[in-house]
Structure 1
Amino acid sequence: MRGRGTWWRVLPVLVVLALGAGGLWVNSPPPTAKAVRVVLPTGSGSLRIGQNLADAGAIRSAWAWLALVWVRGWQNDLKAGTYEIPPGRSLIAVADQVRRGETLRFRYRIIEGWNLAQMASYFEQLGYFRTREFLALTSGPGMIRPAWLPEGLDRLEGFLFPSTYELPAETLGARAAVNQMLSTFEKTALPLWRARVKPARSLKDWVALASLIEKEAAVGEERATIAGVFANRLRLGMPLASDPTVEYAFGIRQTADTPLTYAQVLKPSPYNTYINPGLPPTPIASPGLASLEAALAPALTPYLYFVARYDGTHVFSRTEAEHEQAKRQIRAERRAGAGAAPQAR
């Protein structure tokens, strides 16, 4: 009798310890060293979600999951989507991730001044989708055409707003990315142009001018002045003579050691602003907000010319004689090892 009494006193303690150990086990992370990716379909109940997570190796027990969710009152808070569960994440942490809807998302960043070809290459390098998929939706007969897009365009160049974006795994694709960038342009850039009672330029020409400013201005403080130079030359009917339009036209890129040649700047193309008056037929890159604003409000400046020092700044000139002197000075600095060959406007 004495032994039996001792046993019954010890038994509850053993049960509590066993339950505690079991609880620690089911809450502990599964033995995996890699992140687990799992899809939780829309409309799945708590148990089904737990089974999907357990089958994927993200948790140890679907029933422990169900018990936890009900005890916490989270059964109606669980979010569908694609999840990536890091290794070492406990049952409670996984449940909290699904409750918060922290799904797998893919981030991308479009840099100010990128063109469609650069974007397409970037997306393929990320492994998100192929170059041809992106270009098929941004140029040619199959391109996406929002209602606000100017008529007659054969490409979306300039209208894919540069910014940092995220897409959920379920919708990752070229179409979703293009629509996301177009939507941001509509919400961020388009209101600036529409706010003008009488815009000085059409929507297409505004973005085209802004794209030239974006490509020319490496220093933010010079944007408005560069815009002013272009505005002056447009007003006087002078060619804009912008090197980036030649680079865009022929898919080339000049450097300090290999500047554009006379043959290149005289080569026929609708985009070559050395030989064609006015703006190029479309934008040549995606301008950022600062360049779009500069195109709307160019500085009142006496300058008609500028030449790049290749350190990000420019020398601005009123006359062609001053401009030629500035180029000679920069060449002399280049020969002395203090600079680089000049880019002229």
Structure 2
Amino acid sequence: MTAMQKAFKWSILLLVPALGLGTWASWNWWNNAIAPAQAIVPSATKTVPLHIKSGTAAQQIGHQLETAGLIRSSQAWNMWARWLQWQNPQGGFKAGNYQLSPNQPMQDIAQKIWQGEVTQLSYTIPEGWSLRQMAEYFEKQGFFSAQDFLTEASQIPRSEYPWLPDNLPHLEGFLYPDTYKLNGDSVTPKVIIQQMLNQFQQVALPVYEAQKSQTDLNLLEWVTLGSIVEKEAVIPQERSRIAGVFTARLRKGMLLQTDPTVEYALNIRQTVDQPLTFAQIKVASPYNTYVNPGLPPTPIASPGIASLKAALAPEDTSYLYFVARYDGTHVFSRTLSEHTAAQVAIRKQQSAN
């Protein structure tokens, strides 16, 4: 125990008897109050995340700590907080994200928050995630509600990002998938969306600007096709060929007939055991490429740079069809009869397994 802690303990012992407790009882109460909270949470071996918002009062911080099982007594915390403020009137507890341990004494936790020893939060958005998947992820991480994220993602900040296509209903496809770090207490949907738009602007947009004269796709169509390639391609070697199939079908005026667009429309994910039904592929939705010609109205996910590049430089192929083998690869066909035969063969193989 430091000299300051000892001095503060004796000041507490002089005050507590006035509340009706004896000196020995006061001593025991204070020792228990400032001891690590591990006795309350015996299984606690890991750190506990704690987010302190800007402007949070010391008393509320104590309540947060007690609720999280990090300290034994918010009353003792309040006393210690007043002592810190008395020692340093210009100081104060700092907002931010902390990783704290129930094994730490209360005064050590207080010093950590007083000095602002914050941790840096990070989040990772995989390639091929939709806005809905991102929203669920952020809610599970405790950042904010899924609905708050979706609401913010429906606001198009064209004044900050004038390159965004006109008439976008939401930012699907333009939030670049990557790993990001957050500083301080700036964990809001707006801040996160700005980070991902900035990354798209830095990583993806220059690729399109450099090659747009060589493609018939505008920016929205490019990202939309890239998102479909992202959802269909599993192994990197097939990205360009899959992009080539879709490009060939678009040029011939054929329906794209790609399952991920139906899954997006219905907010489902098909599996080997539960593939899309005939009723589902007939669903009335602008995103259903089995019934609507051309590309869907917006991207269906956030494509990574490899899929975006494939959409700009598709393989020049005579293939018009492909079907998944369910091992990450596809069988490519030039005619409908070849495609049908490939589907039958794959179903037989699946039944045999």
Q: TM-score, normalised by structure 1?
A: 0.72
Counterpart in 1 of 2:198?
183
Counterpart in 1 of 2:151?
136
Residues 38 and 56 in structure 1, CA contact (< 8 A), matched pair in contact too: no
Summarize the alignment of residues 300-315 of structure 1 with structure 2, pairs less than 5 Å apart. 300-315=316-331
Q: Deviations over 1:181-205 (max 9, x none)?
A: 1111111111110112514110000
Aligned residues: 292
Is it true that 1:115 corresponds to 2:119 in the alignment? no
Counterpart in 1 of 2:251?
235
Task: Tell me how far apart the structure 2 counterparts of residues 312 and 58 of structure 1 sit (CA, whole Å).
Answer: 59
Pick from 233, 248, 251 the counterpart of residue 217 of structure 1.
Answer: 233
Residues 52 and 97 in structure 2, CA contact (< 8 A), matched pair in contact too: yes
Report the secondary structure of 2:182's partner residue.
Answer: strand
Counterpart in 2 of 1:5?
none
Counterpart in 2 of 1:84?
98
Q: CA deviation at 1:267?
A: 2.3
Is it true that 1:127 corresponds to 2:142 in the alignment? yes
Change (3 A) 1:134 1:330: same
Counterpart in 2 of 1:195?
210
Change (3 A) 1:230 1:102: farther
Opposite residue 258 of structure 2, the aligned amino acid is: S
Q: Deviations over 1:290-323 (max 9, x none)?
A: 1111111111222111000111110011111111
Change (3 A) 1:254 1:274: same
Counterpart in 2 of 1:316?
332
Opposite residue 342 of structure 2, the aligned amino acid is: A
Residues 113 and 288 in structure 1, CA contact (< 8 A), matched pair in contact too: yes
Residues 51 and 185 in structure 2, CA contact (< 8 A), matched pair in contact too: no
Change (3 A) 1:86 1:194: same
Counterpart in 2 of 1:32?
36
Residues 136 and 143 in structure 1, CA contact (< 8 A), matched pair in contact too: no
Is it true that 1:206 corresponds to 2:216 in the alignment? no
Residues 139 and 146 in structure 2, CA contact (< 8 A), matched pair in contact too: yes
Q: CA deviation at 1:168?
A: 2.3
Residues 224 and 299 in structure 2, CA contact (< 8 A), matched pair in contact too: yes
Report the secondary structure of 1:211's partner residue.
Answer: helix
Q: Deviations over 1:98-129 (max 9, x none)?
A: 99x86322221111111111111111111110
Residues 308 and 314 in structure 1, CA contact (< 8 A), matched pair in contact too: yes
Change (3 A) 1:36 1:299: closer
Opposite residue 210 of structure 1, the aligned amino acid is: G
Change (3 A) 1:39 1:253: closer
Task: Tell me how far apart the structure 1 counterparts of residues 316 and 344 of structure 2 sit (CA, whole Å).
Answer: 27
Change (3 A) 1:39 1:137: closer
Q: CA deviation at 1:86?
A: 4.4
Q: Deviations over 1:159-197 (max 9, x none)?
A: 011111121242111111111111111111111101125
Report the secondary structure of 1:329's partner residue.
Answer: helix
Q: CA deviation at 1:211?
A: 0.3
Counterpart in 2 of 1:150?
165
Report the secondary structure of 1:191's partner residue.
Answer: helix
Change (3 A) 1:96 1:306: same
Larger Rg: 1
Counterpart in 1 of 2:279?
263
Residues 116 and 135 in structure 1, CA contact (< 8 A), matched pair in contact too: yes
For the aligned residues, what is the CA RMSD?
3.6
Task: Tell me how far apart the structure 2 counterparts of residues 83 and 121 of structure 1 sit (CA, whole Å).
Answer: 21
Change (3 A) 1:98 1:314: farther
Q: TM-score, normalised by structure 2?
A: 0.70
Opposite residue 137 of structure 1, the aligned amino acid is: E
Q: CA deviation at 1:22?
A: 6.0
Residues 138 and 144 in structure 1, CA contact (< 8 A), matched pair in contact too: no
Report the secondary structure of 1:262's partner residue.
Answer: coil
Q: CA deviation at 1:84?
A: 2.8
Report the secondary structure of 1:107's partner residue.
Answer: strand
Report the secondary structure of 1:300's partner residue.
Answer: coil
Task: Tell me how far apart the structure 2 counterparts of residues 222 and 325 of structure 1 sit (CA, whole Å).
Answer: 21
Report the secondary structure of 1:295's partner residue.
Answer: helix
Task: Tell me how far apart the structure 1 counterparts of residues 249 and 130 of structure 2 sit (CA, whole Å).
Answer: 25
Report the secondary structure of 1:170's partner residue.
Answer: coil
Instruction: Give the gaps of 5 or more residues in structure 1.
Output: 1-20, 43-54, 67-79, 338-345
Residues 227 and 301 in structure 2, CA contact (< 8 A), matched pair in contact too: yes
Report the secondary structure of 1:171's partner residue.
Answer: coil
